[in-house]
Amino acid sequence: MAFNNGTGLRGNLAVAKLLQWLRWLLPLLALMLALGAASREFRQIDMGAVHATFKQISLPATLLLIAAGMLVVSLNALYDVLLLRWLRLKANVAYVARHAWLASVLNNVAGFAGMTGAGIRYLALGNAGVTGRDAVAFAGLVLFSMPVGLSVLSTSVLFLHTDMLAQLTMPLNLAVLVLGLVSLYWVLFLLVAGGGGLHKRLLADTPPLAFPQRLGLLLVSLLDWLAVVLLLDLCLRVVGERLPLDVLLAAFTVAATLGWVSMVPGGLGVFEGTMLVLLGGVADDASLVLAALLLFRVVYYFIPFLFGVQMLSGMTLVKEGGGMDEFIRRFQAHPLLRLGQVPLRFLGQVSTQALAYLTFAAGVLLLVSAAFPAVATRLEALSLYMPLILREGFHLSSVIAGALLLGLARGISAGMRGAYHTTQGVLLLGIVVTLLKGLDYEEAMLLLVLSALLRANKVAFRHRGYPLTSRRSLRWLLAAGLALLLAAGLGEILYGSEQFTVRLGAFGHGADAARYARALIVMLLTFLAWLGWTWFSMPLPASMKLPDAGLLEQARRFYTGVGQTTYSYLTFLGDKYLLMGGAETALIQYGQQRNHLIALGDPAAADSAGVAEGIRAFRSMAEDYNRVAVFYQVDEANLHYYLNAGFALLKLGEKARVPLENFTLTGKKAQKLRTALNHGTRDGLSFEVAQHPLPEPLWRELQAVSDAWLEDKQAAEKGFSLGRFERAFLEQCSGFALVRQAGRLIAFASVTPDFGSREEYRIDLMRHLADAPNGTMDFLFVNLMKHAAEAGYRWFDLGVAPLAGVGDSVWSPREERLIRLVYQYGNHFYNFKGLRDYKDKFNPQWRSLYLAYPRGVSLASILLDVAALVAGGYRQVLMK
């Protein structure tokens, strides 16, 4: 039965992993296919003409488009207003409509297949006092309703414009199949959203809607999509391109459908590529079509997004202590919402994330702008009043500002205080130089707006740093690299394949190709310089420096005078950082691996209040630097403090402790212990405890036994949570338990310092020769227990049995039940069961040990980093 359960867990894990990869792979694949299909149309487009078209749009036309875009985006609030009335939720209509508008504009950019908008609606209603069940039903119904209009339009294309599908590079049958499946969506909506059997089976937690209500949502969705098409038509007319409305509607429907199916946020790239393919043979000028599509992106996505970010400065989507974990559980359990798995905590910092996207976009804008020639009339004015050398300098300065903004976007996304101040300075530089290099007042205005948005959200930038080697940092670095390649490719498109070195030497107000060639070099050098500067100057927590002799002595005094833990002696390995929590009432030792700060054991403290304060201090310090706080091997007695601090718990195993107060070698229970002593005596074994200072010959004997043990086990020294044979470390321990045979040292165990306490007697390193008699370590343990009991200790610590007792209940968390498989079937790699059985014969009491980690983070990533810390690196973990 257990095996079948494990097989199911493995299957679920494999499916979840596959879906996670597909969520990122499919959008990327769809984008590449769409751009590849449109490559012929892109080659025919004059990018200079596209740029010129933008510059020639009049101010009244621009304001008209912005107003139209804001109006079209606002239509999304109709879903919310209607459902608020139909579901009879007690929430202010204006409040709901405001958050609905915000959800729409942010969803257009962030995407997650519509999940961002649903998450914002859900959190907004929760903050307004609506119950979690009603809020998730509301958000789910809005999400369910939005694509219905596109589905109706897809049906019309299949009946009226199937010939248009033949222009796509994908097989016609596949295109018909995709649109056919999407066309069924509106039928599914009408059936499932009602009160029939399908609704009870699929949406049991969602209130059913009457047919007039379902029809009303269908019409609202259809109006919403038709309004978007009319906005695109208006953009085409403004740039001077007129297309038959039915053709535009059909092309838009196909492009929007493919963009929706691709799961790319806003269909970016997929939508444009498909539109160019479908309208390439209809439009008079493909350059004007591309200009209209870019203009559409600006007025429907970018400008409303700017207003949305401004609105965020006065809103708090995620409140402290607001039952966030219950929100997440209910949101991700809903059948309409769980597929997206949008990270709701991301929405709590959506303001800084949105500003990061804008900062990155501003950097791209400056780099792209540097590739295009200046407008002729503005260039004439500049050439009269500005020396050429100054214009060259301002042009290169704008490139420097653009490259810096690409890098600074990562710090903005992390809410880093230093990145905020630096970005404001770079934006000021960008505003000045864009005006002076070519009177580009449009770009200067956008940079000014971004600066104002940053200023309005200044309080969100409270962190001091971020990890450079985290996955998020690597993704931002990859995006910056792609942006630099885009800028270089744009220059190649504009100026052809003339020899690069020839371009560099040409100077003049009209030498745009040479100017951009020099800009490419400056662009690359600036970004590399920023990477180097960031690597060496990124602020780290003040405690993140390995302790010197003075700090180790201070830690010893703390452990002796204030409090200690089972792992306090491992501080003297010197491989962990030390943090004093609160008013020096707690001491935490921790290591770093990527973006994880991993504390070893519970905080050392005098009392429970100190433990709780230490936990809070460590998590606050980690979050201040955008790290993830983790506690490794914490005791079961302190679990409530970790739960109060918002941690999740994973059982790691059990620790064996032998009570010594009534320790005796008489009686039935001690039969195995007496047998171990008698067996060792017959083999000629002798036991002794050696105290420091040790004579040099004994050090050499210990080293020889340790080296032989490591060679026999084909192992390397570990660290972090395990001691290693280093003389400087071992000289800090209390001494050694030695087992000899005929005078030859065959086994030893190091005794950890007790820091003046007689609470628990512990050993660390345990090593023996391969030819030591069977039962040698039993002989050592029994003698040590007897020695510890005589010395007045209350407990003898036999160490941890990894994975013991983990996931052994049907009610255990899924992660623990999955780990249970390792315990049951992993003996080939590690004798988990044998180790627990071995320790059990000493009649110990077992205490559970746990991993405490923030909810919502990757557990697999944490476990890998813990293993790397203990083993000494990822290479050692993987090779093992």
Beta bridge partners of 750: 736
- Give the DSSP H or E segment for 355: helix 350-371
> What count of other Cβ atoms lies within 10 Å of the Cβ of residue 756?
9
Q: What is the pLDDT of residues 698-723, one digit of tens each?
A: 999 999 999 998 888 887 888 888 88
Q: What is the pLDDT of residues 9-61, one digit of tens each?
A: 344 444 445 545 555 555 556 556 655 555 555 556 666 677 677 767 787 88
- SS3 call for 748: strand
Report pLDDT for 290: 83
- Asked if pLDDT for residue 312 goes beyond 70, the answer is no
Q: Could you give the CA distance from residue 189 to residue 141 in angstroms, rounded to a whole number?
A: 10
Q: Could you give the CA distance from residue 718 to residue 871 in angstroms, rounded to a whole number?
A: 5
> What count of other Cβ atoms lies within 10 Å of the Cβ of residue 156?
14
Report pLDDT for 262: 67
Average pLDDT taken over every residue of the chain: 78
pTM value is: 0.70
Report pLDDT for 47: 64
Q: Could you give the CA distance from residue 556 to residue 611 in angstroms, rounded to a whole number?
A: 18
CA 288 vs CA 42, 244, 522: distances in Å: 12, 15, 32
- Asked if pLDDT for residue 116 goes beyond 60, the answer is yes
> What count of other Cβ atoms lies within 10 Å of the Cβ of residue 129?
10
Report pLDDT for 736: 92
Residue 599, C-beta contacts closer than 8 angstroms, at least 6 positions apart: 588, 589, 590, 618, 629, 630, 631, 632
Residue 711 tokens read as: 């060679």
User: Quick one: average pLDDT of 183-205?
Assistant: 78
Q: What is the pLDDT of residues 560-619, one digit of tens each?
A: 888 888 889 999 988 899 988 766 788 999 999 888 999 998 999 888 888 999 999 999
Q: What is the pLDDT of residues 628-656, one digit of tens each?
A: 899 999 998 899 999 888 898 888 888 88
Q: Which residue has the higher pLDDT, 280 or 801?
A: 801
Q: Could you give the CA distance from residue 133 to residue 718 in angstroms, rounded to a whole number?
A: 49
Q: Assess contact for 768 and 776: CB atoms under 8 A.
A: yes
Length of the chain: 880
Report pLDDT for 342: 46
Burial of 726 by CB count in 10 Å (0-12 exposed, 13-18 middle, 19+ buried)? middle
Q: What is the pLDDT of residues 479-501, one digit of tens each?
A: 888 888 887 777 776 666 555 55
Q: What is the pLDDT of residues 541-561, one digit of tens each?
A: 878 888 888 899 898 999 988
CA angle 652/658/661 to nearest 5° reads 145
- Asked if pLDDT for residue 314 goes beyond 60, the answer is no
Banded model confidence at residue 231, pLDDT cuts 50, 70, 90: very high
Q: Could you give the CA distance from residue 66 to residue 70 in angstroms, rounded to a whole number?
A: 6
User: Quick one: average pLDDT of 171-183?
Assistant: 77
Banded model confidence at residue 4, pLDDT cuts 50, 70, 90: very low
Report pLDDT for 703: 93
3-class secondary structure per residue, 386-409: CCHHHHHHHHHHHHHHHHHHHHHH
CA 718 vs CA 56, 826, 860, 865, 872: distances in Å: 68, 21, 21, 14, 6
Q: What is the pLDDT of residues 408-435, one digit of tens each?
A: 999 998 888 888 999 999 988 888 888 7
Peptide bond into 693 cis (omega under 30): yes
- Asked if pLDDT for residue 285 goes beyond 80, the answer is no
Report pLDDT for 315: 56
Banded model confidence at residue 404, pLDDT cuts 50, 70, 90: very high
Report pLDDT for 48: 65
